[in-house]
Amino acid sequence: MYTIVTGAAGFIGANIVKALNERGIRDVIAVDNLKKADKFRNLVDCEIADYLGKEEFLDLLEAGQFDGVVETIFHEGACSDTMETDGRYMMENNYRYTLSLLDFCLDQEVSFLYASSASVYGGGRVFQESREHEGPLNVYGYSKFLFDQVVRRRLPDAGSQVVGFRYFNVYGPREQHKGRMASVAFHHFNQYRESGKVKLFEGCDGYGNGEQSRDFVFIDDVVKVNMFFLDHPEKSGIFNLGSGRAQPFNDVATSTVNACRALEGKAALSLAEMVSQGIVEYIDFPEALKGKYQSYTEADIGKLRAAGYREPFDTVEQGVTKYVNYLAKA
């Protein structure tokens, strides 16, 4: 029996493939679009049974080639560029593609674990998995939101596991191919190594410089939650997947700089010291993001805890320190 991972050469997908390998699972079919060829590096240390492009995979799926031979699909493949303006492409890639996989999994009684997004909450201040709190600000968020509504309608009659994960701000190893869409921690590490300083947005929406806050969740925690549901096929639903705590971007900056300084044998600095020394620099808030930016997110993980997941989540300080040590060795 095969485990299929879509978006397998991407950030979260590649980490899931690696985690499956560590459990002894090697009959993995990796599905991805390698238009960005460098993504292959994410799979170099992984074991897979086969690689398929997205279109070839869908053709084989619809032809019945995977009937009866698939145990689980981890669907991480999506266009995650929140600035993408081609709505037709976004809906075809994120919504219609995902719907095809759901149809297959329900028909074949295959577990389906898929990537949703905290972007479905838009500019709201309540982050609970409930329709009244949802209002996406861009077509990316809408594509995720719309599919979640389909899942809600189908879950009562589903004969197999369906789990959606509303990922908050995930960061960690294997995201280097994402370019400008990579995490703030990744960009801060490279900025500091190149220039000795890091850049943050000035204040907006009533927040001070660098004080806009997000729920930053380390990739290792994301993978652990995915594996928990793999081990519990009787559990279904849509769940927030964040740390459950909001921390300002300033925390990411100071954690990154101090982790780098520790590797250099230098003492830690406070935010005020970094600002006064020009290590942390605040830049103008982009016009293109005004009205489309989540200045505050914090996952309500009560539903996830109620489902039985008990593991603690890394703070920004803990996760970023691990990540910087990884990047420094890469």
- CA angle centred on 131, ends 125 and 136, rounded to 5°: 60
**CA distances in angstroms from 312 to 91, 217, 242, 315, listed in the order given:** 35, 11, 11, 9
- Plot region of 52 (φ>0 → left; ψ -120 to 50 → alpha; else → beta): beta
Contact 75, 115 (CB under 8 A): yes
Which of 18, 54, 178, 197 is labelled catalytic? 178
User: What DSSP character marks residue 215?
Assistant: -
- Exposed e or buried b per residue across 129-140, where buried means at least 16 C-beta atoms within 10 angstroms of its C-beta: beeeebebbbbb
In the annotation, is 178 catalytic? yes
Residue 262 token pair: 């520790």
By the 8 A CB rule, do 148 and 197 touch?
no
Write down the catalytic residue from 114, 121, 140, 296. Answer: 140
Residue with tokens 């240390």: 45
- Known active-site residue 121: no
> Strand 70-75 relative to strand 237-241: parallel, antiparallel, unpaired?
unpaired
Enumerate the active-site residues: 140, 178
